[in-house]
Chains A and B, each alone.
Chain A
C-alpha cells in the first residue's frame, strides 16, 4: 500500500536527547511513536543494523494525536488527541520487547511505554498539552474552548479549568518563570493567565483581529529568559506574522514578518546564547540573546536570533505540506520539524552560527537579575518563600529535587543499557514453564460449572522505577531524498527595532544590527548535494551552514524493520514468597452448631508424596500398609533431599505428612501426631490428639494442627512448649456460613486461618484472641490510595504472611481508587485507617520486614498529607525516652528491629516536606544526641 505518509502533527525531543516522540494519524486510530535519536544524529548509527530506529509505537488513542510533550523530568510523555483524551505514558521497566501479534511486520517495541493515566475532561479534540516548569501542572487545551490545568502530582485531579476563550483553543505555553500560562485560540485572541489565582492577566486581540481560523494549530512559545512571548498566526498589514509580546506591559510592538501563509508554530530554543568571540578580535562585552524557530503553512521554516534584525536562515519548501510542530535539542544546536505530509526533518547548526550557549549558572544569573530569584530552586509558588533552616533538611530537599530532575544523570543512551525483566518464574526458565504449563496451570469450575483457568503470570507490569532498554537488532530501509533548497526569505524582516524602551534587566536582548540589504546574501540555494549533507548558504556576516538536513521520506511509516528475538532472562523473583509448605486446597464444611463444629479430614490414600521446604527440594513420600508384621499394618514415611534420604515406619496409616526445613510432622489415622527432625530422629513421643487431624503445617520448628473438632494447637517442638493450646475456632466461625479455605503457619509460629467469606484471622497467643488481619470485603481496602507513598524499593519489600493473605486484594484496592471518584478527604481518612491496620496486623503476625515496609509507607503518607500529630507520636515512640528512667516501659526494639534505626529511616521521609522541618530538626538532634552518648 502506498499511504505510508499519514500526517504527523507533533514532535518532541526527550529531555535527555536520546529519543523523540511523534504524534499523528495512524491506520484507524491516533498514533504515538517513540524514536531513537542516535540514527538521526549520526549517519553511522543510521546504517548500523543493531541500533533500533523505532523504540515504541502506541496506537491507543482512538483518533488522531495532535500533541505529544515530554515532562521536564523525562519520566512521562503526555499526548492529546481528537478522541478528547489526554494520555500520560510511562516507561514500563520490567517488560521486554514485544511484537504486535498477528501483524505482518514483525516490528518489536524496544521500549515499553504504558498509558498510566487517561485524563478525561474535555468535550472536544485536545489540541495542545504543556507541562509546567518542574512538572507541577499539565495543561491541555481543546476545541471545547477551555484549558484544563491538571495536578501532575495527583492525576487525574484538575486544579482549574480556564474558561474565557470563545473559540477553539489551539496552543499553550508556560512562562519559564512559572508565573503565567499563555493560550492562543481561534477567537482572535491570545490570553495570558496567572498561575497564582488562575485569573486572566491580559487579553491580547489587536494583532489577531484579521486572522481567520485557518490553521490546525497555533503553537505559541515563551522565550527561555521569560521576556518575550511569541504568538503563532497573527496579521499585520494583511500579512501573516508571528507577534512578539513583551512581558513588560504586554506590549505588542514587534513581530516576525515574512512568511507567506499563516504561522502554525513558534518554538524558542531552550538555550540563551552569547556571541562567539572571534579569534584575534578584542573581547568586547556581548549581550545574551535568544533564538527562535518559526514554521508556517507556507511549508517553510525560519530561524531567528533576537540579536539579528533578519532571520538567521530560511528554508523554503522543506515539506510538501504545512509545518505542524518544532522541537529543539537540549543543547540548542539541532531541531526536528514535522509536517502534515508525514515526514520529520532534522536541522543541525554549528556553534559558530548560533553562538555560545550560556551554561545553567549564567542562565540562572540572568533570571536572578530579572526576577530576583533563580528558577532552578523555584518549586511551585507556595514553598518558594520558605527558608531552609537546617542543613540536613537542605540535603533531603536537594536529593528530592535531584530525583525529580534526573536529566543529567540518566542520560545514557539506549544502546548501552541492559534489560531488566522481572519474571515471576521463580528460577525456572520460560521453556520449562511452557513444557508443563498445561499440567501446572490451575483449573477450577465456577459455580455454574464452567471451566476457569488461572493464568500463570510470567512477567509483572511495572511502570515504576527507571527505564531500562533492550537493545534489539533492527534493520531499516530509509529513503533519503535530497534536501530542499535553502534560501533567504524575500520579505522576511523582524521589527525588533521598534522597541519602545529597554526593559529593566533585559539588556540581554539588544538590537544592534542595522538593516542588511538583501543582495548581500550570496550563494543561496545554489549548492545542492544529493545526500542533503553539508548544504551551505552564506551571508556576508555569518556563515550559515545547515548540516545533515536530511529529509527522510517514508521514515515514519515505511521503515521496514527486521526483528531479532531476544529471550527474556528469567530471574528468581522475590515476590514469590517461599512458603514452608504448599497450602492444602481442601475446603472444609462446617456445621452451624458451634458444639458440633467439625472440620473434615482428608481421605486416606494408599500412597502420596508432597514437596516440602524450599531450601533444596525435599520430598516426603508416604506408603500406607507397606507391610504387615505380626498382625499390625505398617506404613512407611520416606524423606529425601538432594540425594540424601531416610525412612521410618509407623504403626498406623498416615493421613497427613508435612515438614519444614527443620522438622517433619506426620498425623496418623489413630489420632497420633509424630514429629521428627530433618534427619529422621523422633523428637517427642507420639502426641495424642483430641480429634482426628484436619490440617497440619510446619514452619521452622513450629508445628500447627487443626483438628476435626475445629481446634487449633501450635507447638514449638524445639523448646517443647505450647504456643496455642487447643483453641477453638468457634469465635471466628460461629454465626457465619463460612468454611476454612486455607490455613498456614508463619515462620514466627503464628497460625493464620482464612475463611471462605474472605476473612483471614491469626491467633495471637499473648492476648489469646483471634485477630482479623485481612478481609476481602473490607471497603477500606477498596478505597485506599497510597500509591504515591510507595517507592520502587518498597514494591519488593512487601513480602510475608500479610502480603500472602491480602496480596491480590491490595492491588485491586489501588485499582478501585483509580477508577472511583471518592472525595479526597474521605479517601485520605480511609487510607490512614487502612495503613494503621496494616501496621497493627504486621505487628501481630510478628512479620518484621512487613512492619518496616508499612511503617515507611505510613510515614510517607503522614508526611504527604500533613498529619503532624500522628507523625509526632510515631517519632516519639520510635525515639523513646532520651534519658533512661526506670519507670519507662519503652522497648528498644519492635519485632527485632531497633526502633531508633527505624526512626533514622523515617527522618529522611519527613525531611522531604518543608512543613515539618521543625519536627525533623527536633528528632534529628535528639537522635544525634543519643548516638553520641
Chain B
C-alpha cells in the first residue's frame, strides 16, 4: 500500500512572467515515518513533438518525513529557453511534478501550461524569435492530472512484489498538440491510469 498520499499541490505565483521560478506548495501525508527521503522533480516538457526537449528544472530531496502531514514549497528556476524549440515557445505545454521513493516513481502530477504574450500587439504579431521577456506563463492549476503507480515501499525497484505494478510510462501525460489560446483537450490521458474515484 502506498505510504505517501499527495493531498494537495497549490500553484503559487501564477500566472507569472516566463522567467519567474516555478513554485509549488505540496502537502502530502505519510502513513508512517519514512526511513528515506522522498525525491521530488519538476520536469518542463518543452515541446509537444518530442521528448528530448523535456528538461528537469530541479530535483530536491524532502525529509525527514515523519508520520503525519508534512508540507513544503518546491521552487525551481524557470526553464532554459535555449533548450526549447522556438516554434514551441508560445502555446500550451506541460509541467510535471514527480515523486520517487527509493528510486521508484509513485506519483506523477501534470499541469498544462499556457505561455502567451500579454501585449496584444505581440499576441497578434508574434515575433519570429520568441521574446521570453514578454511571455507570461499560466499554469492551469485547477486541472492537475494525477497518475499513481504501485511501488515496493519496503525495498528498491528490483524487488517488486506485486505483479500488477505498472511501469511509469514516460508518456503518461503527453502534452496536447493544440493551438495557443484554446483549452487543451484533457481526454488524452487514458482514464484507467488515473487512480481517482
A-to-B contact residues, CB < 8 Å? 1, 27-28, 57, 59-63, 83, 87, 95, 98-105, 107, 114-115, 118, 424, 434, 437-438, 441, 446, 450-461, 808, 811-812, 815, 818-819
Contact = CB atoms under 8 A, between A and B. Distances in A.
B31 A62 contact: no
B164 interface: yes
Contacts of B195: 27-28, 59
A460 B64 CA distance: 14
A766 B53 CA distance: 68
Contact of B30 (A115, A441, A453, A461): A461
A633 to B, nearest CB: 41
Contacts of A450: 59-61
A57 B197 contact: yes
A437 B197 contact: no
Nearest to B58: A451
A478 B1 CA distance: 31
B71 A455 contact: yes
Contact of A454 (B64, B74, B197): B64
A751 B165 CA distance: 52
B73 interface: yes
Contact of B67 (A87, A453, A811): A811
A101 B70 contact: no
Interface string B20-48: 00010101011111010100000000000
Contacts of B82: none
Nearest to A451: B60
B71 A437 contact: yes
A562 to B, nearest CB: 13
Contacts of A1: 191
24 contacts: A28-B192, A62-B1, A62-B164, A98-B7, A101-B7, A104-B197, A437-B25, A438-B73, A438-B75, A441-B73, A452-B37, A452-B62, A453-B74, A455-B71, A456-B70, A457-B66, A458-B68, A458-B69, A461-B31, A461-B67, A461-B69, A808-B64, A818-B32, A819-B154
A453 B7 contact: no
Chain A to chain B: the 7 pairs with minimum beta-carbon distance, closest first: A102-B146, A103-B196, A455-B70, A60-B1, A459-B69, A455-B72, A461-B67
B65 interface: yes
Contacts of A812: 33, 35
A107 to B, nearest CB: 6
A28 B73 CA distance: 32
B111 to A, nearest CB: 11
Contacts of A458: 27, 68-71
Nearest to A443: B60
Given A28-B192, A57-B197, A101 B144 contact: yes
A63 B150 CA distance: 12
B102 interface: no
B141 interface: no
Contacts of A87: 1
Contacts of B27: 458
B63 interface: yes
B84 interface: no
B6 interface: yes
Most chain A CB within 10 A, of B29, B60, B154, B197, is at B197
Nearest to B27: A458
Interface string B166-197: 00000000000000000000000001101111
Interface string B73-117: 111000000000000000000000000000000000100000000
B99 to A, nearest CB: 12
A815 B73 contact: no
A781 to B, nearest CB: 13
A624 B20 CA distance: 37
Interface string B105-145: 00001000000000000000000000000000000000011
A310 to B, nearest CB: 45
Contacts of A99: 7
Interface residues of B, number: 51
Nearest to B70: A455
A226 B162 CA distance: 41
A93 B92 CA distance: 43
B11 interface: no
Nearest to B2: A60
Contacts of B68: 95, 424, 457-461
Contacts of A453: 60-62, 72, 74
Nearest to A561: B197
A62 B148 CA distance: 13
A62 B197 contact: no
A249 B70 CA distance: 60
Given A27-B195, A441-B72, A452-B62, 19 more contacts: A1-B191, A27-B192, A28-B195, A62-B150, A100-B5, A100-B196, A101-B5, A101-B7, A101-B9, A102-B196, A103-B194, A437-B72, A437-B73, A451-B58, A453-B62, A457-B68, A459-B69, A461-B31, A818-B32
Nearest to A430: B71
Given A115-B31, A815-B35, A105 B60 contact: no
Contacts of B7: 98-99, 101
Most chain A CB within 10 A, of B10, B25, B37, B68, is at B68
B62 A455 contact: yes
Nearest to B23: A438
A577 to B, nearest CB: 15
A22 to B, nearest CB: 15
Most chain B CB within 10 A, of A1, A100, A104, A812, is at A100
A288 B64 CA distance: 61
B59 to A, nearest CB: 7
Contacts of B60: 450-453
A100 B73 contact: no
A88 B1 CA distance: 13
B29 A98 contact: yes
A406 B28 CA distance: 33
A118 B1 contact: yes
A62 B9 contact: no
Contact of A62 (B6, B66, B162, B192): B162
A802 B191 CA distance: 51
A105 B62 contact: no
B109 to A, nearest CB: 7
B1 to A, nearest CB: 4
A456 B72 contact: yes
Contacts of B197: 27, 57, 100, 103-105, 107
A446 B61 contact: yes
Nearest to A811: B33
Contact of B146 (A101, A437, A818): A101
A100 B9 CA distance: 12
Contact of B69 (A59, A95, A103, A811): A95
A456 B71 contact: yes
Contacts of B191: 1
A452 B162 CA distance: 30
Contacts of A105: 196-197
A808 B29 CA distance: 17
A812 B35 CA distance: 8
A455 B65 contact: yes
Nearest to A442: B72
Contacts of B194: 102-103
Contacts of B196: 100, 102-105
A93 to B, nearest CB: 13
Contacts of B74: 453
Contacts of B164: 28, 62-63
A114 B27 CA distance: 18
B32 A815 contact: yes
A321 to B, nearest CB: 23
B33 A815 contact: yes
A95 to B, nearest CB: 7
Nearest to A62: B162
A52 B10 CA distance: 27
